[in-house]
Structure 1
Amino acid sequence: MNIAMIATEKLPVPAIRGGAIQIYLQSSAEIIAKSHQVTVFSIKDPDLQESETKDGIQYIRIDKHHYLAGLVEQLKTQHFDVIHLCNRPSWIESLKKASPDSRFVLSVHNEMFAESKITKENGEKCIQAVSKIVTVSNFIGERIISRFPEAAEKIETVYSGVDLDTYHPVWTDEGGRIRKIMREKAGLEGKKIILFVGRLSKVKGPHILLQAIPEIAREHPDVMLVFVGSKWFGDNQVNNYVKHLYTLGAMHSDYVTFIKFVRPRDIPYFYAMSDLFVCSSQWQEPLARVHYEAMAAGLPIVTTNRGGNAEVISNGENGAIIDDFDQPQEYARVINSLLSDGQKREEMGREGRQLAESKYGWSRVADNLLRVYEGNE
């Protein structure tokens, strides 16, 4: 098959600036390209060529300010058997006109069929035009169906994935080596490290974790809460909310460390040095990919019962699910319990790694996408 995979206009592919969609496309394309012809479209970036072939994938990059128009022109000049568009249902009509004989697959990573995102008429046209709608969680699929019941027969959940070879649990030789180096470099030897990875935005809830720190530190004075991330992918500028976080953190400087944007390829090192991962999302999140990363790294996960996040967590087995997502004392209670029980943390971490290996590797994602592309149910 000749396959086109189209990213949004936000970030480039490969994912040199991060981004869940960009990582998803790059990782699955690299596997699919071993047996099919693959072209990936994304925006231009000063650190990437406008057009190149790498790892068997043809990359074409278009100016972000004329991205949709550029995509239309590209699709008019070359034929694709399958066109996989990410997260932009409102573009389907224009792209379908440009390439009417192609099979269209739409993957939905956020609530793109909400009233605020697409009209009822355009949503219905999109659903009629596509062969399949792939969602990153059952939650997203259910939200689409609640507004567009006719979409049910075309929707399929394909969970995202993780590169299992780049994450090393502490019980492996490589994981232990990385952990030792990272902790020595950061001056965190002997600490119980709680890790947060993600954008520093209110919907991600880092302020709730900071409010929980005094209660955690009273029971575990050797704790360190490490935040990895910035206000936006690759952007270390500070807005008012981030300033607020820094102020809260400064009040507990013995227990809080902020590390700004980290290149995606370096993220696994921070998981390796940690003891526990926390996703404190306050919004109805589709399903944050950090859960797959933490599982691959063999870390127990504390997450919130918001959106699709809890779909990959079995409470008490590979992590803990917090229902009272906006209550700092609830985070403190769950985190203190896990920090006090090293054996439980290891059991959860091993269960998470086993789940990642059996369900969440990129080869599984690629296989599922290929089945969808081929029209096999």
Structure 2
Amino acid sequence: MKLLIIAPEQNPVPPPVGGSVENCIFQISKQISNRHQVTIVSLQRKGLPKKTKMGHVTILRVRGGSKKTYLSHVMKKVKGGHFDLIQIDNRPSFVRVVRRAFPTTPISVFLHSVTFVTSPMTTRRQAAIDLREADLIIGNSGSLKRTLQHMFPQHKKKIKYVHLGVDLTQFHPGKQISQGRFRVLFAGRLIPRKGIPVLMKAIHIARKTAPAVHLTVAGGTHHAAYKKHLKKLASSLRLPVTFIGNVSRSRMPAFYRSGNCFVCPSQKLEAFGLVNVEAMASGLPVIASHNGGIPEIVKHESNGLLVKSYRHPEAFAKHIVYLAKHPEVVRRLGKQARKDVETHFSWKKTAKNLMQIYQSAI
């Protein structure tokens, strides 16, 4: 199969920092390239070549700008090409332009969240119109599939899902070095929906009975005022928290191995939660909001702990204290977490499931 993947306009493929969508594109493409030809079009960034060829994967990079400008550059780059299927990641608004250029080619929209089919990015009515031209809509969890089917009942039959994966050789357990501390980790964008204030308040409560608990936060933000707000909150709570900023993808495995547990306190729908899978692959127990697709990954008291009252810091604090005081539970949950990821969440499995859907469509 000759597959064209159109990445969003925000980050290059592969992304040096962050860019979970672009990372998914890169990892899936690597897995399917032994049997299929893959062309990826993504953002050009200084220091990266305009064209990268890796076996049967070709990455073409074009100039960015607005979504409309970027898409124009993409279409000029692929004009006249022949593809068996076109995948558009996270940009349903691109579909109609792509359809005009490729009227008979099956088009799949791979959605990683509901962000680009809801306000303020678009209206539900406009999203439904954009998705009308797609042959397939792929979500990254059963939860996202059900949400999309509820939102767009007219497209129900063409909505499928595949779970995402993790590089099992890159992300693996390491020797825990506690140095008398119980290190709680968070990784993600510093935005309100991620629930960092809830986590910080939970750490404050937990330290009253488990003073060894410390917090490390990895991630950046485009909103300096929000990061300032978080640091002010940490100061007012007298928290031992370290903000380490954006961490490159190559350094993320070591980041996970530096902790004793990982907390994902998402306050709004979390379609999948790739950071949870990466932490679990690294042998960490995960404490996470019972929210969206997270329960498809984290199984309560088997490979991690789920928090139903995830708006309340006390609920997270209870689980953090429990793990801090029971190292044998940390080891048991972490061991099972790694085993479950090996079974269910490899990129190889993601790619296999996705291509089965595509081959059926063709």
For Structure 1 versus Structure 2, the TM-score category normalised by the shorter chain is over 0.9
Aligned twin of 1:299: 284
CA distance in 2, matches of 1:302, 1:323: 11
Map of 2:258 onto structure 1: 273
Tell me, yes or no, if structure 1 residue 70 matches structure 2 residue 73. yes
- More deviation, 270-279/211-220: 211-220
Mark the CA change 1:205 to 1:55 in structure 2 (over 3 Å): closer, same or farther.
farther
1:154 maps to 2:144: no
Structure 2 CA distance for aligned equivalents of residues 26 and 90 of structure 1: 22
Number of the residue aligned with 2:272: 287
* Rounded Cα–Cα distance in structure 1 between residues aligned with 2:290 and 2:37: 40
The residue that corresponds to 1:109 in the other structure is 112
User: In the aligned structure 2, how far is the partner of 1:115 from the partner of 1:248?
Assistant: 29
Q: Among residues 206, 211, 219, which one is paired with 1:229 in the alignment?
A: 219
Q: Give the match for residue 261 of structure 1.
A: 246
Provide the residue aligned with 1:97 in structure 2: 100
Q: Where does residue 50 of structure 1 map in the other structure?
A: 50
- Displaced runs of 4+ in structure 1, greater than 6 A? none
Aligned to 2:25: 25
Alpha-carbon distance in structure 1 between the residues aligned to 2:239 and 2:150 = 47
- Using a 3 Å threshold, how does the CA distance of structure 1 residues 248 and 118 change in structure 2: closer, same or farther? closer
Contact 2:17 2:246 in 1 (8 A): no
1:250, distance to aligned residue in structure 2 (A): 3.2
2:183–2:215 Cα contact (<8 Å) kept:
yes
Gaps of 5+ in 2: none
CA contact (8 A) 2:167 2:347 kept: yes
**CA–CA distance in structure 2, aligned partners of residues 103 and 82 of structure 1:** 5
SS of match in other structure, 2:164? coil
Mean alpha-carbon deviation: is it higher for 71-80 or for 288-297? 71-80
Listed as ranges, the matches of 1:126-137 within 5 Å are 126-137=130-141
TM-score normalised by the chain length of structure 2: 0.93
Q: What corresponds to 2:332 in structure 1?
A: 347
How many residue pairs get aligned? The number is 358
Q: Hey, what's the Cα distance between the residues in 2 that align with 1:119 and 1:72?
A: 25
C-alpha deviation, 1:364, in angstroms: 0.5
Partner of 1:209: 199
* Mapped partners of 2:43, 2:289: distance in 1: 33
Alpha-carbon distance in 2 for matches of 1:330, 1:124: 38
Which of residues 325, 341, 352 in structure 2 aligns to 1:356?
Answer: 341
Which one of the candidate residues 85, 98, 103 is aligned to 2:88?
A: 85
Q: Deviation per CA, 1:331-372, whole angstroms, max 9, x where unpaired?
A: 111111121111111111111111110110000011112112
Provide Cα deviations, 1:42-69, integer angstroms capped at 9, x if missing partner: 1111121122213542111111122111
Q: Separation in 1 of the partners of 2:119 and 2:240?
A: 43
After TM superposition, the structure 1 stretch with the greater mean CA deviation from structure 2, 124-133 or 80-89, is: 124-133
Residue 263 of structure 1 and its aligned partner are, at CA, apart by 0.2
Q: Give the letter for the 1:354 counterpart.
A: K
Tell me the SS of whatever aligns to 2:208: helix
Asked whether the equivalents of residues 203 and 283 of structure 1 are also in contact (C-alpha less than 8 Å), the reply is yes
Amino acid at match of 1:139: S
Structure 2 letter corresponding to 1:334: H
TM (norm. structure 1) is 0.89
Q: Percent identity?
A: 29
- Name the CA distance, whole Å, in 1 between partners of 2:55 and 2:144: 32
Query: How far apart, CA to CA, are the structure 1 residues paired with 2:242 and 2:123?
Result: 44
